[in-house]
Amino acid sequence: MPGRGVLSDDHPHLVGAAGSSGHRSAHRTLERCDTLLALGVSTRGGAFDIPGGAFLIQVDRDPLQLCRRTHRGVGLYGTVAETLDELLARLAPPTVVSPGRSRGGGREASRRRFLRARQASFGRWRRRTRRTGRVPRAGRPIPPSFLCRTLREVLAGLGDEGEAMGRPVVTVDVGLTTLWVYRYLPGQVDFVWTSSFAAMGFAMPAALAIAPLAPGRPVLALVGDGGIGITMAELAAAAHAPAPVVVVVFNNGKLAAIKYEQEVMGWPEHESELCNGDFASYARACGVNGVRVTNPEQLAPALRAALAGRTTCLLDVVCDPHETPWPARPSPRQAAGFLLARVREARASIRHWRRA
C-alpha cells in the first residue's frame, strides 16, 4: 500500500498495482516476468503473491522482510537508494539490439511489445474507470470506487485555490475499503496502513497520532463502517486532539470483506450486515464536525469543505454494498463460487418472500 503513493497512475511506464487487489494488467505482466526487482515490498503470505516463475531480487532495510520471503530469489539487505546505486554501478552499459539481427533480438522485441501492450491495457482501464465513475446512476448509492476517484481529484486539486497545502497523509483501515483505496486512489499521497497485521480499527487512531507530526499537511483516515464501529470512542478524544483530521467512513452497512470471502467460497452471505447508527450525529455529539453524504453530487463539495476546515470532521458516506471487488485475476474456482453463492442468495430471498 505505501508504494501506491510513490507513483501516480498517470506515469507512462506503469502497468498497474500488483496483487489480487490490484490490476489485471500488472498481474499479466508478472506472469511473464523472468526477473523481478522488488524495492521495499512485503512479500509475506498472500499480501503480494507473485504469479509465474520470476526470479525475485528483494531489497529491504528490514531483515525480517527478507527472512519471510517464500518465493525463489535472493534478498539484498540495505536501503533502496544505496542498493540501487551499487547495482547500477555493476550493470554493463546497455547494448542496442536491432530486432531480428542477432540471436535474442526477436525475443527482446516481442518482450517490449508485450510490455507496451500491458501499459496500453492499464491506460484503457484508467480511462474507462474515469468515464464510468464520473456520474453514478441517479438515485443510486455511491459506489466506493467513485468515492476514491472523487477523493483523488479533490486531493489533486488541493491548493489550487488559496493557500497551498502539503502532501496529504492518508491512513487506511482493513476491509474492502483497503482494496478500493489501493486500486483507485494512487499517487501523490503518503499512505499509512497496518501492513501485515491487518487489524481493523487502525486508521482513525493512527491519523490522530500522526496529525500533530505533520503540520500543514492534510491528514485523512479512510475507514469502513465496521472499522469506525470499533474505534468510535476515539472521536471524543479527537475533539481535544492538538491537530485536526478528516475521517471518511465508507458506510456500506456491512462487513463487506467477510461477505465476499463467504461468497467466493460458494456460501451465501451470512451475518455480515451491520446495524449502524448515525455516525455523523454521533461525531457531533462528541464535539467534532459530522456530515452525512448520501448523494454523489454532495460528495466533492463535502470533501473540499472538510479539508478546508481547520477542525476535525467525520464524513459518513453512504456507499453501495453491491459494487463487486473482482480480484485482479479471478480463479475459475472463485468465479464459480461467487455464482453459486448468488444463486443460493436468490433462492433464500424467494423462500423468505414466500413465507412473508
Ligand X SMILES: Cc1ncc(C[n+]2csc(CCOP(=O)(O)OP(=O)(O)O)c2C)c(N)n1
Give the binding site for Mg ion (CB under 5 A). Answer: 224-226, 252, 254, 256
When the beta carbons of 175 and 186 are compared against ligand X, the nearer one is: 175
CB burial of 250-275 (b: ≥16 within 10 Å; e: otherwise) equals bbbbbbbbbbbebbbebebbeebeee
Residue count of the chain: 356
On the CB side of 139, CA atoms within 13 Å amount to: 0
Tell me the closest approach of the beta carbon of residue 205 to ligand X, in angstroms: 12
Indicate which of ligand X, Mg ion, none lies near residue 174 (CB less than 5 to 8 Å, by partner kind): ligand X
- Look at residues 173, 138, 154, 153 and name the one whose alpha carbon lies nearest to residue 249: 173
Q: For residues 25-54, which are near ligand X according to CB under 6 A?
A: none
Q: What are the grid coordinates assigned to 132, written together? A: 464510468
Q: Is 198 in the site for ligand X (CB under 6 A)?
A: yes
Q: Is 224 in the site for ligand X (CB under 6 A)?
A: yes
Tell me the closest approach of the beta carbon of residue 229 to ligand X, in angstroms: 7
Query: Measured between alpha carbons, how far is 320 from 343 in angstroms, rounded to an integer?
Result: 20
When the beta carbons of 250 and 279 are compared against ligand X, the nearer one is: 250
Q: What are the grid coordinates assigned to 326, written together? A: 473482482
Indicate which of Mg ion, ligand X, none lies near residue 42 (CB less than 5 to 8 Å, by partner kind): none
When the beta carbons of 225 and 234 are compared against Mg ion, the nearer one is: 225
Cα-Cα end-to-end distance for the chain: 46
Tell me the closest approach of the beta carbon of residue 225 to ligand X, in angstroms: 4
* Nearest-CB residue for Mg ion: 224
When the beta carbons of 244 and 321 are compared against ligand X, the nearer one is: 321
**Cβ neighbours for 327, distance < 8 A, ≥ 6 positions apart:** 20, 21, 334
Tell me the closest approach of the beta carbon of residue 337 to Mg ion, in angstroms: 21
Give SS3 for 57.
Answer: strand
Tell me the closest approach of the beta carbon of residue 274 to Mg ion, in angstroms: 7
Interface segment toward ligand X; rule CB under 6 A; list 42-50, 84-92, 224-232, 290-298: 224-232
When the beta carbons of 9 and 225 are compared against Mg ion, the nearer one is: 225
**Cβ neighbours for 93, distance < 8 A, ≥ 6 positions apart:** none
**Cβ neighbours for 99, distance < 8 A, ≥ 6 positions apart:** 105, 106, 108, 109
Tell me the closest approach of the beta carbon of residue 49 to ligand X, in angstroms: 18
Tell me the closest approach of the beta carbon of residue 95 to ligand X, in angstroms: 50
Kindly tell me which residue out of 141, 186, 227, 337 binds ligand X, with binding defined by CB under 6 A.
Answer: 227
Q: For residues 125-184, which are near ligand X according to CB under 6 A?
A: 173-177
Indicate which of Mg ion, ligand X, none lies near residue 200 (CB less than 5 to 8 Å, by partner kind): ligand X
Type of residue numbered 349: S
Return the HEC string of 209-269.
HHHHHCCCCCEEEEEEHHHHHCCCCHHHHHCCCCCCCEEEEEECCECHHHHHHHHHCCCCC
Q: Is 122 in the site for ligand X (CB under 6 A)?
A: no
**242-281 footprint of ligand X as x/- string (CB under 6 A):** --------x-x-xxxxx-----------------------
Indicate which of Mg ion, ligand X, none lies near residue 227 (CB less than 5 to 8 Å, by partner kind): ligand X
C-beta of residue 231 within 8 angstroms of C-beta of residue 252? no
Tell me the closest approach of the beta carbon of residue 304 to ligand X, in angstroms: 24
Query: Measured between alpha carbons, how far is 340 from 266 in angstroms, rounded to an integer?
Result: 5
When the beta carbons of 36 and 293 are compared against ligand X, the nearer one is: 293
When the beta carbons of 165 and 198 are compared against ligand X, the nearer one is: 198
In a 10 Å sphere around its CB, with 0-12 CB exposed, 13-18 middle and 19+ buried, how is residue 325 labelled?
A: middle
Tell me the closest approach of the beta carbon of residue 176 to Mg ion, in angstroms: 7
In whole angstroms, how far apart are CA 71 and each of 35, 46, 51, 309?
12, 11, 10, 47
Residue ranges in contact with ligand X by CB under 6 A: 173-177, 198-201, 224-227, 250, 252, 254-258
